[in-house]
Every structure is written in C-alpha cells, then in structure tokens.
C-alpha cells in the first residue's frame, strides 16, 4: 500500500515538473499540447498554418482554416511511470459569414487511481482535470486575423493532512493575433497569443494561479515545387505568472515537409531549462490527408537523462474538414 501511494504521488510531482509548471500554477491539462501535429514539431502551434486544434495555441488562426472541421486527439501520458494517465482533446470550428469563425474545445486529463492513506484508513479516487472553452475569430484583412477565447477549468489538489483530493474551478481567457503573407512563391506567417489569463483556483487553505503565458512564433514555408513544400519555424513560450519567468521559458524549433498535400513528415527540438522542468526532447511526426480526413501521429525522444519519464510518449489526432 505504501509503495503504491508514494509511487503515484511521485508520478504526479514529476508530471507537474515536466510541464514546466510550479506547484503554485495548475492545472496540468492547460500545459500539455494536445495534438499529433504540433507535438511532432516541438509543440509549435502559434504561427503554423491553422488546423482544428488551433484554439489551444492561437484562437485567431481559425480565420484562415477553411469552412470548418473537427478533431479528436489522444495521448497516453508518462507511461514510464504510470499506466493509467491519459490526455483527450476534442476541438472543432465553423465559419459564420465571410470573415467570422466560432470554435470550441474540451480537454480531459485523467490522473488515474490515487490512494491516500495515513496507516489507519485509506481513500481511493480517480481524479481528473478538464477544461472547456468557446472562441471567436475574425479575419480583418486577407493577411491578418484576431481572436478571443473563454474557458472554464477544473483542477484537483491533494490534501494529505485530511486524506482528501479537492477540486476547484477557474475562468480563463485567451487573445491572439495571426499574420500570413506570400513572399514570392513562398509563404510566411507569424503569431502571438496570451493564454490562460483569469481567476484563481480556491482550494480553501490555498489559492492557485492559472498558468498564464505569452506565445510568440514565426513559420516560413518554401514551396519547392507544385507538389513539394518545406516549412521551418521557431516558437517561444514565456510564463506570465510565478517566479523566474525567463528561466521557465521554453523554446521550440520545428520543420514540416508536405508532399502533394497528402503526406507530411515532421521533426523538432524542444528546449526547457534543466532546473525548471528539464523536458527537452526531440520530436518526430508523420501525417496523412485523404479527401476530408486527416491523421497525425507524433513521438518524443527525450534528450536529457532527467526527462526519461517522457520516453515512449506519443500523440494521435484524427481530423475531418468541411469543404
């Protein structure tokens, strides 16, 4: 019993550390990139081309995403340490009028079975964190769009003194901007978003802040031939709450090769400070699109011995688009 308790508490602690979030900044569900495309390019998504999961990174991108779409993403989380932690993400968007778009997204992070015990009694539960949000995006010009999103977030907190796992809710908001333009036969895009700004979680004896952050990135696509395209990008994520924000900043560098808008190959390098998360890793991904359907898969290879908990992490996303 003691071994199980300590193992799960250790797993939860490592999970928080590997997301680069301090114990005063929850929940984890808001810090895990959900989809198989972005995670194949080192968690880049603020300036890449729009897809159905854009609300997580930059809600304004939907204004260049087409008429509408849906996506379902799944990732078994930290299988090196736990067999029952999973992340699910459902997202969708649709066009209203010529330049207006609405979007919705639901994220669910199952922490798995947790047993708390003081030796005399024990309590077992299966807590989870979740978030649900709605967004609005508008294309202002053929090159620029803005967007805003609002969500409700539910987080959990273990109180070992009273053997209780408490939950609390908070409201969060995002704002984003996206720019895209042709450069000869090539294409450049840039994005900026401020995410998860809002109220605090009130657990009674403790109040916890949302993991507010500033994302900034750019992506350049070389159209090498009618059927070949190669994109290169960089993105930074700066925490806006907590101490040592610069030390907790993460950076991603990624690339995406596309053949005939049918097959995609991706790779990237994600960097985080070894003293604040140390979840640096190489990422690889593949994707395919046939008519209105798309499938994207990614795999992570930790580059630090301290981030081996991320070994064998993969993400899968199934999407469909409305023409």
Candidates 209, 153, 176; CA nearest to 21 is 209
**pLDDT, tens digit, for every residue of 34-45?**
999 999 999 999
Tell me what pLDDT residue 80 has.
Answer: 78
Which of these ranges, 111-115, 147-151, 223-227, 290-294, has the smallest mean pLDDT?
111-115
Cα–chain-centroid distance for residue 97?
29
| Average pLDDT for 279-286 | 94
Tell me what pLDDT residue 118 has.
Answer: 67
Name the pTM for this structure.
0.89
19 vs 33: CA distance, rounded Å = 10
**pLDDT, tens digit, for every residue of 86-120?**
999 999 999 999 999 999 999 999 988 777 766 67
| Average pLDDT for 210-236 | 97
Tell me what pLDDT residue 18 has.
Answer: 43
Q: Does the pLDDT value for residue 263 go beyond 50?
A: yes
Residue 134 near residue 148 (C-beta atoms within 8 A): no
Is the torsion defined by CA of 317, 114, 106, 284 positive or negative?
negative
Q: Does the pLDDT value for residue 274 go beyond 50?
A: yes
| Average pLDDT for 261-269 | 97
Q: φ and ψ at 245, to 5 degrees? A: -60, -40
Candidates 58, 87, 45; CA nearest to 219 is 45
| Average pLDDT for 278-289 | 94
277: left (phi > 0), else alpha (psi -120 to 50), else beta?
A: left
Q: Does the pLDDT value for residue 24 go beyond 50?
A: no
Q: What is residue 32's three-state secondary structure?
A: coil
| Average pLDDT for 2-23 | 42
Percent of the chain with pLDDT over 70: 88
The domain locations on the chain are: 2-322
291 vs 276: CA distance, rounded Å = 43
Which of these ranges, 17-21, 90-94, 249-253, 263-267, has the smallest mean pLDDT?
17-21
What is the overall mean pLDDT for the chain? Answer: 88
Tell me what pLDDT residue 278 has.
Answer: 79
102 vs 316: CA distance, rounded Å = 24
pLDDT band of residue 306 (cuts 50, 70, 90) is low
**From the candidate CATH numbers 2.40.160.60, 3.30.1330.10, 3.30.2130.30, 1.10.1060.10, the one assigned to the domain spanning 2-322:** 2.40.160.60
Tell me what pLDDT residue 4 has.
Answer: 38
pLDDT band of residue 13 (cuts 50, 70, 90) is very low
Tell me what pLDDT residue 162 has.
Answer: 58
Q: Does the pLDDT value for residue 243 go beyond 90?
A: no
Query: Which residues 6+ apart lie within 8 Å of 43 measured at CB?
Result: 33, 235, 237, 250, 252, 268, 270, 283
pLDDT band of residue 22 (cuts 50, 70, 90) is very low
| Average pLDDT for 246-259 | 96
| Average pLDDT for 225-251 | 94
**pLDDT, tens digit, for every residue of 140-189?**
999 999 999 999 999 887 666 656 778 899 999 999 999 999 999 999 99
Q: What angle do CA 196, 49, 40 make, to 5 degrees?
A: 75
**pLDDT, tens digit, for every residue of 120-129?**
777 777 888 9
| Average pLDDT for 207-216 | 94
Kindly give the pairing relationship between strand 144-159 and strand 128-139. Answer: antiparallel
């Amino acid at each position: 019993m003691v071994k199980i308790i300590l193992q799960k508490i250790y797993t939860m602690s490592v999970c928080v550390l590997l997301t680069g979030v301090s114990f005063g900044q929850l929940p984890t569900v808001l810090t895990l990139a959900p989809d198989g495309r972005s995670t194949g390019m080192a968690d880049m998504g603020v300036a890449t081309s729009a897809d159905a999961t854009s609300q997580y990174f930059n809600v304004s991108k939907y204004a260049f995403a087409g008429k509408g779409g849906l996506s379902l993403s799944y990732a078994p989380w930290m299988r090196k340490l736990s067999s029952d932690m999973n992340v699910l993400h459902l997202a969708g968007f649709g066009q209203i009028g010529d330049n207006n778009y609405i979007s919705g997204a639901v994220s669910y992070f199952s922490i798995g079975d947790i047993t708390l015990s003081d030796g005399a009694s024990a309590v077992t539960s299966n807590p989870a964190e979740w978030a649900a949000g709605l967004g609005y995006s508008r294309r202002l010009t053929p090159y620029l769009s803005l967007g805003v999103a609002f969500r409700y977030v539910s987080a959990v907190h273990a109180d070992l003194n009273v053997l209780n796992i408490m939950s609390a809710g908070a409201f969060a908001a995002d704002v984003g901007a996206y720019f895209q333009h042709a450069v000869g036969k090539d294409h450049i895009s840039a994005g900026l978003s401020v995410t998860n700004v809002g109220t605090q979680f009130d657990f009674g004896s403790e109040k916890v802040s949302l993991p507010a952050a500033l994302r900034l990135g750019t992506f350049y696509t070389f159209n090498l031939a009618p059927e070949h395209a190669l994109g290169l990008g960089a993105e930074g994520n700066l925490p806006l709450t907590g101490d040592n924000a610069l030390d907790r900043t993460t950076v991603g560098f990624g690339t995406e090769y596309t053949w005939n808008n049918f097959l995609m190959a991706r790779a990237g390098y994600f960097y985080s400070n070894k003293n604040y998360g140390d979840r640096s890793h190489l990422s690889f991904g593949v994707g395919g699109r046939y008519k209105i359907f798309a499938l994207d898969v990614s795999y992570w290879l930790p580059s630090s011995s301290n981030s081996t908990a991320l070994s064998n992490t993969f993400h899968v996303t199934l999407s469909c688009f409305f023409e």
